[in-house]
Structures are given as structure tokens and as C-alpha cells.
Structure 1
């Protein structure tokens, strides 16, 4: 089994698409005004409006902007360089500037417009580099 996609349900589709396009440097594929995907080589981040909940049983299936336990993570080549390039765009999003983690990654922690935590990280220690080179 492979994890293929994570979907965020939101009432702010365009804001989230803009945020994730800016942060990842990837372009979203917009299938409808209510659904888009940002595809990387290893997984897809899907963004669906609250309207898409009708296909899954109704409005109570998921509540937008309600998560406080999941961190969406993106591996980047150089988190410090990425941080510098995004500059002012990140001003109101930063939870923690690039910081060395005990498990060997340098991480930048952000919040998207719905409040989801987003971690941009670069493996730095030999162990972390080896771990991600094996995937």
C-alpha cells in the first residue's frame, strides 16, 4: 500500500491553492472551481471546497479549518534558501524559522490560511540524508 494523496477541505479554495503554489513552487491542476491538486513526484496534496463533501455524505463529514493535529510536510533541497526566497510572503505564516531538529532535519514550520501546520524541511545529518535517499 502507498500513501497517494492528502486532501484538505476548505471554504477558502483559492487562498489555499495560492499558499501551496507559493510555498512549494508547484502549480495546482484545477479540475473544477471546487477541486485542485498539487502533485509532487511522491504524493499529491488535494484541495477541495466544502461543496465536495456532498459526494462523501454531507457537510458533517469534515469541517474546514478544524485540524490541530496533522503536519503537512514537504522536503525541499535547501530550506534556508527557500525561506529567503519566500521572504515577505511568509511573514504572517511563520510558526518557527528554520531550525535544526534532533532527528537531523532543518525545518521551517508554517501555518496555511486555514491554520494547518506545514513543515518545509531539508535532511542535513548523514542519517537523515540516508533515510530520504532510500525512498
Structure 2
């Protein structure tokens, strides 16, 4: 088994894709006007409009209704990402400014336009880097 993606359902796909393109520097690959993917070396963030839910599970997903999942992106320099997000206006405020966590990651927590919690992190200890090595 290989975990390859997570899909977020949104009521405003253009806004949400724009946020993730700006925040990650990745370019979205659009399959249709209702579905886009931001691909990285290890996983894909798929973003679908509410219209896609009706195609496979009507009523099963509700946009901007999550408070239990954190989307996580490993970055080279979390402090630089913090400055970029604030300076570009992609986020107004952080849930948590860059902080070094006990498990060895320096983490920045923000909310995307739909309110999902997003963690940008950089491993800063040898143990954390080894744990995340692929």
C-alpha cells in the first residue's frame, strides 16, 4: 500500500488552489474546472469543488467543515515560509508562529481560506531529519 494523496473539498476551488500555489510554490495541475492537484515528490494535495462530491458520494463531504485534520508540508526553511505568507498577504495571522517542537521539528501553523489547519515544518534535529528521511 502507498498513501498518495489527500483531497480537500471546497466551495471556492480557485481561491483555495491559489492559496496553496502561493504558499507552497507548486503549480496546480487542473484536470477540470472542478478538480486540481498540487503534486510533490512524496504526496499529492487534491482539491475538488463541491460538485465532485455528487459524482461519488452525494452529501458525504462538506466544505470548510474540518477541525480534526492538519495538512503538513515539509519545507527547507520554515521561518522564510512564515515571512513569505505574511508579506504576501496569503495569511493575516498565524495560529502559531514558528516554534521548535519537542520532537525536533520547527513548525508554523496557519489556516487556509477554508479554515483547515496547515503545518509548514522543517526538521531541525538529527533525530527528526532521520525519522523523516525517505
User: For residues 86 and 28 of structure 1, what CA distance do their matches in structure 2 show?
Assistant: 18
Aligned ranges for residues 39-58 of structure 1 at < 5 Å? Answer: 39-58=39-58
Over 3 Å counting, the alpha-carbon distance change for 1:52 and 1:118 in structure 2 is same
Offset at residue 125 of structure 1 (A)? 1.0
**Tell me, which stretches of 5 or more residues in structure 2 are unaligned?**
none
Match of 1:20 in 2: 20
User: For residues 51 and 71 of structure 1, what CA distance do their matches in structure 2 show?
Assistant: 23
Over residues 19-77 of structure 1, what are the superposed CA-to-partner deviations in whole Å (9 max), with x where a residue is unaligned?
1001111000111111000000000000000000111131x111111000000000001
Match of 2:83 in 1: 84
User: For residues 70 and 33 of structure 2, what CA distance do their matches in structure 1 show?
Assistant: 25
Task: Look up the SS of the partner of 1:48 in the other structure.
Answer: strand
- Contact kept, 8 Å, 1:93 with 1:112, in 2: the verdict is no
User: For residues 14 and 8 of structure 1, what CA distance do their matches in structure 2 show?
Assistant: 13
Over 3 Å counting, the alpha-carbon distance change for 1:63 and 1:93 in structure 2 is farther
Moved over 3 A (4+): none
Q: How many aligned residue pairs are there?
A: 133
- Contact kept, 8 Å, 2:91 with 2:110, in 1: the verdict is no
**Tell me, which stretches of 5 or more residues in structure 1 are unaligned?**
none
Aligned ranges for residues 101-116 of structure 1 at < 5 Å? Answer: 101-116=101-116
Match of 2:99 in 1: 99
TM-score (norm 2): 0.94
TM-score (norm 1): 0.94
